[in-house]
Amino acid sequence: MSYNHHGGGRRKHYRDDHDDRRREIYDTPEQRLRKSIINLGEVDPVQELERVAKQIRQQVPVSVPAIAEGFRIGVTEQPFKIPYYAALLRLLHDPSEEPTEEEPAPGSPSLGKQILEDYWKGFQAFLDKLAWRELRLCIHFFAHLTVAGVINAQSMFELLRSFTAVLEEFGASHGRAMKAALCAAEGLMMAGPVIKQTPDVDASEIVATIKAYSDSVNSTKTLVQPVVKLFSGEPALEHADEILDSAIAALRILEASDFAQTADTFPQPYADFPPLDAEPFELPSVLVPPEVIELDGLMTEDGEDAQVKKEEWPAYYIRLFDNDITPDPTTPVGYAIRSGLIDLVDIFEVNRKECARLLLEFPKWMLPGTFKPREGAPYHEPVPGKNWDLETTVMETILGTIFLLPETIHKPIYYYTLITELCKLMPKTAGPAVGKSIRKLYALLADGLDVEIAQRFADWFSIHMSNFNFGWVWKEWIPDLSLSPKHPKRVFMQHAVELEIRLSYYDRILRVLPEEMQAPEAGVMPEEAPGPDFEYDDPAKPYHDSAQSVLNLLRGRAKAEDVIEHIQSLKNTLSESADGDVNVDSVVRSITVQSLLHIGSRSFSHFLNAIERYLPLLRSLAGGGIIAGGGNPHLEARMDILSAVYAFWKRSRHMVAIVFDKLMQYQIVDPTDVIGWTFTNGGSSSRPKSPNTFDAFQWILLKGALDKANGRVMIARRKVAALRKEADDNAARAKASDSATMEVDTEAKPDVIPAAETPALTTALKAFATLTREQKAALSRTLDGFVDYLAANPDANPKTREVITEKAWHARANWDEVEWETWETWCWYRHFARAYSPYLRNYVNTLAAVSLDRLETMSDPAVDLFKKTWNIATGQEV
């Protein structure tokens, strides 16, 4: 028995392994064919065309949908292969040299035409979903097929016109118009040579329509330029190009040469193919469907639309290098290269390693001589006007995407890690490109680089250096230590080092810096390592014994009620012994909050445990439960709590933002409290700044509070929508059930509460109304803060009127700390206006009435600039 049992067990295990091997999954013939199409050109795209075309023809039976699906995937996920896919489809329009049983009969559509007809169905599906990137790449494919003679040029022109029609729609959003314009512009760049020769077709009509739209949004462009000139409203910049303006410039160059440069811009592997005998394919007429706007019927108490409609802005890509190093995007070939690289980076966001590999292989898909050959590659004669540096071009394109305003397309960390992968793959060439880019960006800091871009630059710099042993040539920046402490270069150094310490540790960063930067007067390194600063830890400090008594209770995990009772007793004791004008309530709150933070300072989990255990204590403090009375006890108490948090974590300022976020999450304080504290006390750091000015640390706190308020409204909206849907579904089911039983019992009535009367929905609607009021209050308090800082009181900071003039800007080499801080405040106001534009537009009338009415009777350059920025952000006339 035992032998048979064990033997059987072994034999069963063997059979299982054998069965697993037999159950290996094999691709079907359709899947193999689709893979062959998708993998076209992995070795040599030109040589593989005939082989793949033959493989497609030899499939029996021919599966046109599977083949068309392969083309759709290849075109929309590998756009650099589009010219070769067009050449492959052109080959499939020719009769086969080796006819098979599946070969179309004489007079019937060719295999290529059948595939194109099926491909069009996929394009129509993309159009119905308004999948803009896929639409644009499909138009690239159609444009190449037009040049190859497969598609009728007149029908291609009409397709492009259907997209320019979007630009003339009333109330079309900029995002919709820009994407439609790029579809038409890029399609015309590629198909222009054939469209230009078509009778009764005017290609300049498309260019003129796009140009008219671009000119109509010039005022909007000033708010998203990467280099700030507060005195100027010009859309053109020396160090950046707007993508639509670049497309128009490239089209005009092509138009001037009757599109002769198209062949020198885009690969055309089908150019030497013989003319097609059959009639070209007529693209059906299309109408671009309108934007889908979800109407949930939710309004605020004042009748305003509470739904956020995200507004897209003009896209400025920063330029760092001369045209002989990286291509000029206002030329046809420069635009094509940048557009191709941007698409590649966007599509392969799911796999940064594969993206880095494909970026370095990009020259393979361009015309020979476009980029300098790699070391060890066969020599190519340099092409006049080309021969650019690949790694530098890729780096400039990625950085341009990182620095899009007001926000990046994907999370910034994706782009940072992509650059790291490039450096790992090609350290000898990508590393120097990174170094040159850092130096160019650092130089732009003094020329008005936007403050949000400077923040992202510091983030990327610190993360990148942490991956490469912090190996930067720090001594290059030593001469800049003589600049004003608030000069953007000095601020960048300080912020970058602060981030690097967070990514490593204090002594590690101290070792890599030169001695000049280590000195306290340099203001680069903090004087002490980051960490908590318990104000009452020193026995020599006042209130040390009182703090220790609270600390001992917390360490002993005393009940919250016992701690509250002890604090009340402590307050009475301190009131009796207090000298002078000591605010005993504030002292007690500071002792309690700092003691609680001290208990939780060992780790994040310790902090969360301490907060959650003593939530009743914190709510008692925040609600004014432990006070002597007078004034607004609740507001004063919450401000004291926030000040105590800052005092404890002032040497690790990122912890201030984290604790503030948790206090808002547990509703100890409101977002409006954090915003008010930020404008009132946010700059009281170890590096003091001028009053009525706003810096990057304050922005981090402000953004956290606004995002919290906006996020709560979004969650409440989703809950209301879900409850309404559930209630409507229940009502529909009850009605259907009632109809089914009507013949049996005419008196039966559905026991259903109407959707608007369900208790859960009523509660959710009340919560939504409360959170919407909180959201408006947060936005209003922010706007009030900037009005007070920049416009309402000219005497509070006279520099607000000076730094916005052209004369002052050109004399910025002589600016001191106040001027630079005031300029930075203006820049953060601009960023607030553009970043939260969708929310400001929803409540424009309420916010203007509450915060801007006091500026109505005022007129000076600062007030005018403030109003102009507000009007641009809220979509009003400038």
**What is the per-residue pLDDT across 16-71, written as a single tens digit (0 to 9) for each?**
555 555 556 677 888 889 999 999 988 899 999 999 999 998 887 888 999 999 99
Torsion of CA 588, 591, 596, 600, to 10 degrees: 160
Asked if 70 contacts 34 with a C-beta cutoff of 8 angstroms, the reply is yes
User: What residue has token string 């059906």?
Assistant: 284
- What is residue 679's predicted lDDT score, i.e. its pLDDT? 93
Q: In this predicted structure, what is the pLDDT of residue 105?
A: 56
Fold of the CATH domain 29-221+247-264 = 1.25.40
pLDDT band at 690 (very low <50, low <70, confident <90, very high): low
Cα dist from 872 to 223, 422, 704, 788, 838, whole Å: 8, 39, 24, 20, 12
pLDDT number for residue 483:
94
pLDDT digits (tens, 9 = 90+) for 550-570: 999 999 999 999 999 999 999
Six token digits for residue 379:
């020599």
Residue 609 burial (10 A CB sphere; 0-12, 13-18, 19+): middle
Query: Which H helix or E strand runs over 426?
Result: none
Contacts of 298 (CB under 8 A, 6+ apart): 306, 307, 717, 720, 768
More confident residue, 312 or 770: 770
CB atoms within 10 A of CB 43: 9
Residue boundaries of the structural domains of the chain = 29-221+247-264, 319-468, 550-644, 652-738+759-878
Give residue 295's pLDDT band: very low, low, confident or very high (50, 70, 90): low
Residue 388: strand pairing partners? 371
Pair 595, 547: CB distance under 8 Å = yes
Model confidence band, residue 457 (pLDDT cutoffs 50, 70, 90): very high
Q: Are 607 and 551 in contact (CB under 8 A)?
A: no
Structure letter (DSSP) for residue 603: -
pLDDT reported for residue 632: 59
- Joined tokens for residue 320: 């760092």
Give pLDDT, residue 12. Answer: 46
What is the arithmetic mean of pLDDT over 181-191? 96
Q: Is the dihedral of CA 252, 345, 495, 649 positive or negative?
A: positive
**Cα(224)–Cα(226) distance, integer angstroms:** 6
DSSP label of 792: I
pLDDT at position 689: 65
Whole-number Å distance between alpha carbons of 253 and 231: 31
Highest mean pLDDT among 7-21, 680-694, 711-725: 711-725
- The tens digit of pLDDT for each residue in 407-417 reads 999 999 999 99
Tokens for 128? Answer: 């119905």
Q: What is the structure's pLDDT at 83?
A: 96
CB 300 within 8 A of CB 770: no
pLDDT tens per residue, range 100-159: 555 555 556 789 999 999 999 999 999 999 999 999 999 999 999 999 999 999 999 999
The reply to whether 319-468 shares the fold of 29-221+247-264 is yes
Residues 259, 74 contacting (CB under 8 angstroms):
no
pLDDT at residue 305 tops 60? no
Measured from the Cβ of residue 343, the count of other Cβ atoms closer than 10 Å reads 19
**pLDDT, mean of residues 775-785:** 95
**237 pLDDT tier (thresholds 50, 70, 90):** confident
Q: Note the pTM of the prediction, 2 decimals.
A: 0.91
Alpha helices by DSSP H, listed for 544-583, are 544-555, 560-577
| Whole-number pLDDT of residue 538 | 87
Of 177, 190, 362, nearest to 271 by C-alpha is: 190
Considering only CA atoms, which of 812, 823, 810 is closest in space to residue 862? 823
**Measured between alpha carbons, how far is residue 294 from residues 151, 491, 548, 840 in Å?**
37, 44, 57, 19
Q: Is pLDDT of 1 > 50? A: no
Cα separation, 847 vs 304, in Å, equals: 12
Concatenating the DSSP letter of every residue in 7-37 gives: HHHHHHHHHHHHHHHHT-----HHHHHHHHH
Q: For residues 474, 478, 479 and 485, what is the CA-based torsion angle, rounded to 10 degrees? A: 110
CA angle 411, 417, 422 (to 5 degrees): 135
CA–CA distance, 477 with 473 (Å, rounded to integer) = 8
Do 367 and 264 form a contact (C-beta atoms < 8 A)? yes
Mean pLDDT (whole number) for 381-398: 91
pLDDT at 10: 46
In the predicted model, what is the mean pLDDT of residues 642-660? 94
In DSSP terms, which residues pair with 449 in a beta bridge? 227
Instruction: Name the nearest CA neighbour of 391 among 350, 421, 432, 439.
Output: 432
Give phi and psi for 469, each to the nearest 5. Answer: 65, 25
pLDDT of amino acid 7 = 46
What is the CA 640 to chain-centroid distance, rounded?
Answer: 35
What pLDDT score does 461 carry? 97
Question: pLDDT class for 450, splitting at 50, 70, 90?
Answer: very high
- Cα–Cα distance measured from residue 516 to residue 272, given in angstroms and rounded to the nearest whole number: 65
CB 227 within 8 A of CB 179: no
What mean pLDDT do residues 781-794 have? 89
Gap between the Cα atoms of 708 and 657, Å rounded: 12
CA distance 626 to 282: 80
Tell me how far apart the alpha carbons of residues 167 and 159 are, in angstroms, rounded to a whole number: 14
Model confidence at 541: pLDDT above 90: no
Residue 873 and residue 837 in contact, taking contact as beta carbons nearer than 8 Å: yes
pLDDT band at residue 781 using 50, 70 and 90 as cut-offs: very high
Q: How far apart, in whole angstroms, are the C-alpha atoms of residue 89 and residue 117?
A: 12
Please indicate whether residue 733 or residue 253 has the higher confidence score (pLDDT): 253
Residue 89's closest CA among 49, 137, 43, 35?
49
Confidence at residue 8, expressed as pLDDT on a 0 to 100 scale: 46
Task: Give per-residue pLDDT as tens, 570-596.
Answer: 988 888 877 767 888 899 999 999 999
317 in helix, strand or coil? strand
Percent of the chain with pLDDT over 90: 67
Distance of CA 723 to the CA centre of its chain: 31
Asked if residue 153 lies in contact with residue 191, where contact means CB atoms within 8 angstroms, the answer is yes
Backbone φ and ψ of 776, nearest 5°:
-65, -35
Architecture in CATH for domain 319-468: Alpha Horseshoe (1.25)
pLDDT for residue 693: 87
CB 422 within 8 A of CB 360: yes
Angle at Cα 497 formed by Cα 494 and Cα 498, nearest 5°? 85
> With bands split at pLDDT 50, 70 and 90, how would you rate the model's confidence at 235?
confident
**Highest averaged pLDDT of the listed ranges 8-22, 176-190, 224-238, 717-731:** 176-190
Instruction: Look over the chain and give the mean of its residue pLDDT values, rounded to a whole number.
Output: 88
How does pLDDT run across 671-682, given as a tens digit for each residue? 999 999 999 986
Nearest 5°: phi and psi at 69? -65, -40
Tell me, what's the pLDDT at 759? 87
**Amino acid present at 848:** A
H helices within 303-450, ranges in order? Answer: 332-347, 352-360, 390-402, 412-425, 427-444
DSSP three-state, residue 306: coil
**Considering only 102-116, 397-411, 602-616, which range has the smallest mean pLDDT?**
102-116
Residue range 469-505, pLDDT digits in tens: 998 999 999 999 999 999 999 999 999 999 999 999 9
Cα dihedral 697, 703, 706, 708, rounded to 10, equals: -100
Residue type, 394: V
Contacts (Cβ under 8 Å, ≥6 apart) of 401: 317, 342, 345, 408, 409, 415
The half-sphere exposure of 373 on its side-chain side, counting CA atoms within 13 A, is 11
- DSSP for 458-479, written as a single string: HHHHHHHHHHTTT---GGGGGG
